[in-house]
Amino acid sequence: MSAYNFAFLDEQTKRMIRRALLKAVAIPGHQVPFGSREMPLSYGWGTGGVQVTASVIGPDDVFKVIDQGADDTTNAVSIRQFFERTTRVRTTTRTDAATLIQTRHRIPETPLRKGQIVVFQVPIPEPLRWLEPREIETRKMHALEEYGVMHVRLYEDITRHGHVETAYDYPVLVNGRYLMRPSPIPKFDNPKLDRNPALLLFGAGREKRIYAVPPYTPVRSLDFEDHPFTVERWDHTCALCGASDAFMDEIVVDDKGGRMFVCSDTDYCERRRGR
């Protein structure tokens, strides 16, 4: 790999991305366009997250990658190997031992602490995209803080179904100003975004956008006074560790409809089992 720079990207590109990150941190929740590079990973596999990670990772970092909460899913393994090859940094599966965590679709159950950075892989950064397909329009709507359409959509869901019909990538308002997609994390994880002590960075490679939630920033999931935001609950506890406060994966165990529930966060589950 000697033909490639530390963490694959050249230093000029990293600097460009870090400048976008600084702007993103300065304007929490605002999408900053950046000159996204073509990466040796496929679009949709986390190219935005990988570029953000590559531009902030240093030789002293301890790196963790999760996908669906697990360190051992194939894409998490692949991204961890990519940075092992290109940076030789230490890697870990322990949330509390990591300085830098790249994630797809989950926020770890173990509370994050000050100084940690979490990098989210983002497929579609624009929260208004399903309501307005045109970038030219949505940019205006953000500039004018014109988020009425989203409230109307949530209202229509409630009048029609009694619930907001969004289970993941549930829209949030960051620092009382910008509407933001938290990436496709389950809404179960949304409360963890609020005033989190870690720095949360979001990278969308194909869509060429970066945004951020700096430490301790208020993040509110959209709701109504008479229909407050709620998260998923399970009637089951984890079949492996007994946790009742974690997001559960449902595992089909036979072909007769048998099911069991286990923690989606494999590190959390293992550590509860005392390993």
Partner 1 sequence: MYVAVKGGEKAIASAHRLLAEERRGDRSVPEMTLDQIDQQLGLAVDRVMTEGSLYDRELAALAVKQARGDLIEAIFLARAYRTTLPRFGASRPVDTSSMVVRRRVSATFKDVPGGQILGATFDYTHRLLDWSLAGAGQGNGDATSGSAAQPSRNGSDHAQPGNDAAPHGSVLAPLGGRLPRAIDALDREGLIETEEPDPDDRPVADLTRDGLGLPADRDARLQNLARADEGFVLALGYATQRGYGRNHPFAGEIRVGEVEVELVPEELGFPITIGEITLTECQMVNQFKGSATAPPQFTRGYGLTFGHAERKAMTMALVDRALRCRELGEMPISPPQDEEFVLSHSDNVEASGFVQHLKLPHHVDFQSELVLIRTLRSEAQARAR
Q: Give me the residues that bind partner 1 (CB under 8 A), please.
A: 4-5, 8, 10, 33-40, 42-45, 47, 67-70, 72-78, 81, 104-106, 123, 134-136, 161-163, 165, 167-169, 184-188, 206, 208, 232-234, 239-240, 247-251, 253, 260, 262, 264, 266, 269
Q: Which residues lie below 8 Å from residue 173, measured CB to CB, with a gap of 6+?
A: 29, 147, 179, 180, 219, 220, 222
Beta-strand relationship, 62-67 and 100-104: parallel
Task: Put residue 136 in one of left, alpha, beta given phi > 0 → left and psi -120 to 50 → alpha.
Answer: alpha
User: In the complex, what is the shortest distance from the CB of residue 25 to partner 1, in angstroms, rounded to a whole number?
Assistant: 19
Cα–chain center distance at 182: 6
Q: Between 134 and 177, whose beta carbon lies closer to partner 1?
A: 134
Helix count (H) and strand count (E) of the chain? 7, 12
DSSP for residue 173: E
Say which of 58, 115, 241, 274 is annotated catalytic: 241
**Quick check: helix, strand or coil at residue 113?**
coil
For the question of residue 258 being annotated catalytic, the response is no
Residue 205 known to be catalytic: no
Measured between alpha carbons, how far is residue 57 from residues 95, 124, 158, 176 in Å?
Answer: 16, 24, 43, 30
Q: Which of 205, 238, 258, 274 is catalytic?
A: 238
Q: How far is the CB of 206 from partner 1 (least distance, A)?
A: 5
For residue 216, the minimal CB distance to partner 1 (Å) is: 26
Active-site residue flag, 44: no
CA-CA distance, 61 to 99, in Å (whole number)? 6
- Rounded to whole angstroms, the Cα distance separating 113 from 145 reads 31
* Catalytic-role residue among 29, 48, 69, 205: 29
Min dist CB 173 to partner 1, Å, is 20
Instruction: Considering the complex, state which of residue 180 and residue 262 has its C-beta at the smaller distance from partner 1.
Output: 262
- Tell the smallest beta-carbon distance from residue 212 to partner 1 (Å): 18
Name beta bridge partners: 84.
none
Q: Which is nearer to partner 1, 112 or 185 (CB)?
A: 185
Based on CB atoms, which residue is closest to partner 1, 161 or 256? 161
Of 65 and 217, nearer to partner 1 (C-beta) is: 65
Concerning whether 176 is annotated as a catalytic residue, the answer is no
Q: Which of 49, 203, 205, 263 is catalytic?
A: 263
Strand blocks (E) in the chain = 32-33, 62-67, 90-91, 100-104, 117-121, 172-174, 178-180, 199-204, 209-213, 219-221, 248-252, 259-263
Catalytic residue list: 29, 238, 241, 263, 269
